Structure 1
Amino acid sequence: MTKTLGSLILDEITLTVPLSTDADDTRTIDVFARIVTRSGGENLPYLVFLQGGPGNEAPRPSLSPLNPNWLGVALEEYRVVMLDQRGTGLSTPVNDDILNKPAEDVAEYLTHLRADGIVRDAEAVRKHLGVEKWNLLGQSFGGFTTLHYLSRHADSLDTVYFTGGLSAIDRPAEDVYINCYNRMRRNSEEFYRRFPQLRDTFGNLVELARAGEIVLPTGEVVSETRLRSLGHLLGSNDGWFDLYSLLERDPKSNAFLHDLAGLLPFGNRNPLYYVLHESSYADGVVTNWAAERVLPDDFREDPTLLTGEHVFQEWMDTVPSLKPWKDVALILAQNEWPKLYDAQALQNSNAKGAAAVYANDVFVPLDYSLETAAHMPGVQLFITSQHEHNGLRSSAGAVLKHLFDLAHGREVR
């Protein structure tokens, strides 16, 4: 189906594909992709955007303002394929109604929604379009998926771009989460150096949470660990301002409670983000609530130190939208996940492209990103402290333009 949006041409594709790689498994899912083309760009190569997550659908393009705001830069050189990753958007989305099935069956179904399944779907779309090779742009979790793509189907790829998405390889999830705690400690202390009065403010909020006195409009009684997960805001360019503004408010006010509900991660419209989150770092391991198990001693002792993308078991008992998923999440935490990445395959892939690596990234650690990049010498690095993890969006296309120039050997300004 072809539609138009101003000067943009939108071609929509829905394919029915196998759920798993088991030849005896007859289950299928639908996979939806929307191809965005600018007027006059009908013969440009394809660029597949793999978004962050897990569990997020592709952005819906719009004009005035342009969404996503980097799209204009991308469309100068490519036709952009917005793929709804399996389980999201229009790709057989996972909703609470799946919980009518036994928890064991639901958990087994969700094991097919990781990067390996997403790559199989992308390959199906590529073959449907009759394209020998195409290009990828992976943001965060989408970059992890791009690494798996290179590990399995490098011959299908021309140029790859990463923005905050060079995952650790051959490391347990515990290593990643410890590293992220270290970076959250740094960002927490930096926030309090800038706004020293807010350390006591946050400490007082923790006391209210411990007493069960912060109750959101959703009915959630906010726990200490949920409150401290506000630290994820310190992983974006302007998230610190949202945190600052929240802490200015009276914690008993409607404004505070509504704003807090909107700023907390993991408990929103996307249960997969919580349920499958640790599996994103599971490169052939059982995660078993890795982030919770490796919580550093100083974080246990100082409740004003904030956490980031660290998930905790107790949220299954305190967050209304996550309570129905408890049995499924417990099963998945004990699942032995297959490996996603192959360092030798990456080395042999002759991958070319460019990667934005954010020096202060609290979600995808710099040192592990550099280890992974060493397996892909043809991928040029843009290491910067100017942006945080959301640099693709916050730069309104400047980061992407820089990557295009690096990858194609053009003068970079």
Structure 2
Amino acid sequence: MASDPLETYVNKGIYWHGLKVIERFYNLPLDYADPDGEKIRVFARSLIPLSKAKTPEEEAKLPYLLYLQGGPGFEVELQGRGGLVDEIHEQGYQTLWLDQRGTGLSSPIGHNTLPVHLTTDAAKAAYLKHFRADNIVRDCEAIRKILLGADGKWTVMGQSFGGFCAITYLSFFPDGLKEVFLTGGLAPLDEGPDRVYASLIPILKKRNQIYYKKYPQDILRVREIAAYLEASDVTLPNGGRLSVSRFLWLGINFGTTGGIDRMHQLVFRMTNDLELFGKLGSKTLQLIESKYSFDGNPIYAILHEPIYCQGQAPKWSASRVIASQPQFLWAHVKSLAQTEPLYFHGEMVFPDAFDDYVNLRPLKGAAQILANDSDYALYDIEQLKRNEVKVSAATYYNDMYVEFGLAQETAGTIANCEQYITNQLNHDGIRQDAKDVMKRLFEISKRERPGPRVNFLASCHDMALSFLFPKQPLQSPKVSEDGAWLFFDGALKTWAIHNEDGSFTSRQVFAHSNPHSGVGRQSTATPPYHWHLQQTETFQVNSGVLCYILDGTEGKLTAGQTATIVPGRWHTFWSDPESGVDLDVNITVRGGDNPGFDESFVRNFYGYLSSCTMQGFAPSPIQMLHFMYSADVVLEMPLNIGRAANYLLGNWVGWLGGYKSQYPEFSEAKAK
């Protein structure tokens, strides 16, 4: 199955001083379900610290640590002395650096390197499906058996997507693992990516706010650049297109150390070009083309959303989620005052990337097929729950790519997992401070803290939380054939409508004859008296009669009538019980840095309230305030303390109590 090493050498130069390097290629199955079929070539480089292996016998005894690179679709960088390498070798490991299949020297995927027999989009899509984490891990297992024998075990370290692969490894081949280290790699275990992207939006907004606070002059600069790109057909040196979307995608830099400053320097340079020449210079275009280019690493674009999928098609999740966030949409922001910032995007791949990047264009059809493919199986949740392999993870509280809350859910699912959590490092923490990160991980790995005491304290903590913040089982809502989400056994139906101008519309139908929605203001489905900090609401009645209270004054709207409520005005509404017909109303919201009333809020707020009501439980006031805090909605309270209650009780106490603004039970994947 494997070729002999193509080259073995000891380099005694400065850069490689003290490292023995062995480079190997392995001929492995493209499809492990057909082991005798088509083969690919996989490359891995061994680094052996001569200070730990002065003789062949000592070298043979050094345990292996396999490093899995972040991505997906990126090759591992050539490693020399210093930083991460030294920290690992100092612990007595020899290291193996794998170019994951389809990257680097491992049968790299490119528009011009696909096998010639792949002549259709369907054939290309079927081929590309073999380059996901499940087969990357199978490659690792094949290489492990070649190097160590069937019974040998090794340690695996995964950075970011490499950590996702390590969790797949834990799911299906735990017997080959001695230990696992994760850095920014506690993968969300959801069935699909919608909740992943929705959870990252607040972090991305915060990074944009930090950027514009540090460089306020860039608000106008970014707007002018976007206007220029929209009005011009800007072609990059390799034939790609610099669209507004491709420009905004460079915000992926915001999640790395120094990324905000690098983005400013690029914006500054682009503005200088436009002022001097009325266009972007060739050097600037070259710089943009080289930044995070999908052209050379197409797997990232093609398989990025599927890395979050477990039996659910991604369906361009990031594009759908961002569509409800007007600050990220140039079509919306350009109509606002010049002082309003346009937000950069983060780690998201949109369909138009397959038009903007010249080398992605031949793969556009295959990408569309994969976006609608639900045949993904990356994790065995039950196996992870009974995991016996030591897992030590470095988790970054402000991570812009792996949301902290979802990472904690994963850490709580994987048995025998312990963490080093810090808010002082970004996602690239092992680049930023490899010495500290690895020191912490190796200390955690020893598991030398008093286990019984830790378990006792954890049990006391859980008991206290259960007493102070009781949780009720959550029931997922049903979805009707016409796409309506059904709450309170169908008393309330909702549809989500994302508008081209960036606004969001929730169509809601309240059944007139149901006790949960048709008995006036006291109906269960009636929203509490509240006001919005940022969003403007427009109510448009399609049929029935809407009763409302606005700043203490009652009124009614009938079919065809509308009313607009600006931020800061108290209001609530309900279906008129005397009308004899269902209330059908469109509620459209727009504006503000935090569009809190969105599709996720509607599903989670009404989903939680409905779940409690239908099971006979009282909803938690802390949970309700946590919902309000996340949406920038303030409830009526004595002494006008609503905002303080949101912040102190909803935010802090809610966080301590483990309450969330989004639950998987109310996701599209779980709805019945």
Which of 130, 135, 138 is the equivalent residue of 2:155?
A: 135
Measured against aligned partners, the alpha-carbon deviations of 1:377-410 in whole angstroms (never above 9, x if no partner) come to 4222111111111111122443123211221247
1:271 alignment counterpart:
298
Q: What residue is the counterpart of 1:351 in the other structure? A: 389
- How is 1:327-342 mapped onto 2 (pairs within 5 angstroms)? 327-342=365-380
1:212–1:222 Cα contact (<8 Å) kept: no
1:159 and 2:159 are equivalent in the alignment: no
Match 2:129 to one of 103, 111, 119: 111
Distance 2:293 2:408 in 1: 28
Equivalents in 1 of 2:140, 2:372: separation in Å?
A: 28
In structure 1, the partner of 2:345 is 307
Structure 1: state its 5+ residue gaps. none
Once the two structures are superposed, the pairs formed by residues 24-103 of structure 1 within 5 Å of their partners are 26-39=37-50, 40-41=52-53, 42=59, 43-63=61-81, 66=82, 69-77=83-91, 78-97=93-112, 98=114, 100=116, 101-102=118-119, 103=121
How much is the aligned-residue C-alpha RMSD, in angstroms? 1.9
Do the aligned partners of 1:12 and 1:34 also contact (CA within 8 Å) in 2?
A: yes
Q: Which amino acid aligns with 2:209?
A: E
Relative to the length of structure 1, the TM-score reads 0.93
Correspondent of 1:259 among 287, 310, 313: 287
Describe the shift of the 1:172–1:90 C-alpha distance in structure 2 as closer, same or farther (beyond 3 A).
Answer: same
Q: Secondary structure at the match of 2:131?
A: coil
Q: Indicate if the aligned counterparts of 1:47 and 1:80 stay in contact, CA closer than 8 A.
A: yes
C-alpha distance after superposition, 1:12-61 (max 9, x if no partner)? 23222222132486112222221111002422211100001111122222
* Matched residues, number: 406
Task: State the SS of the aligned residue for 1:256.
Answer: helix
1:178-327 matched pairs, under 5 angstroms: 178-212=198-232, 214-249=234-269, 250-251=272-273, 252-263=280-291, 265-295=292-322, 296-298=324-326, 299-300=328-329, 301-302=332-333, 304-327=342-365
CA apart distance, 1:254:
3.7
The amino acid that maps onto 2:262 is: D
Contact 1:5 1:62 in 2 (8 A): no
1:221-262: CA deviation from partner (whole Å, max 9, x where unpaired): 311111111110101011112112112212433443332223
Query: Any idea what the Cα deviations from partners look like across 1:173-232, whole Å, max 9, x if unmatched?
Result: 111111222211111011111111111111111111111254433333311111111110
1:362 is aligned to 400
Aligned sequence identity (%)? 34
Indicate how the Cα distance of structure 1 residues 148 and 24 shifts in structure 2: closer, same or farther if over 3 A, else same: closer
Question: Is 2:422 aligned against 1:384?
Answer: yes
SS at structure 1 position matched to 2:228: helix
Does residue 400 (structure 1) correspond to residue 441 (structure 2)? The answer is no
- Would the alpha carbon gap of residues 73 and 213 (structure 1) be closer, same or farther in structure 2, given more than 3 Å must change? same
| C-alpha contact (below 8 Å) 1:212/1:221 kept by paired residues | no
Which has the higher relative contact order, 1 or 2, with Cα contacts under 8 A spaced 6 or more apart?
1
DSSP 3-state at the match of 1:33: strand
Is 1:124–2:162 an aligned residue pair?
no
SS of alignment partner, residue 275 of structure 1: helix
Higher gyration radius (CA)? 2
- CA positional deviation for 1:277: 1.2
Say if 2:109 and 2:297, in contact at 8 Å, map to a contact too: no
Counterpart of 2:25 in structure 1 is 14
Report the Cα offset of residue 336 of structure 1: 1.6
For residues 50-103 of structure 1, give each alpha carbon's deviation from its aligned partner in whole angstroms, at most 9, with x where no partner exists.
00111112222235xx4xx31111111211111111112222222323174222
Higher alpha-carbon deviation: 358-367 or 377-386: 377-386
Q: What stretches of structure 2 of length at least 5 have no aligned partner?
A: 13-17, 54-58, 274-279, 334-340, 450-672
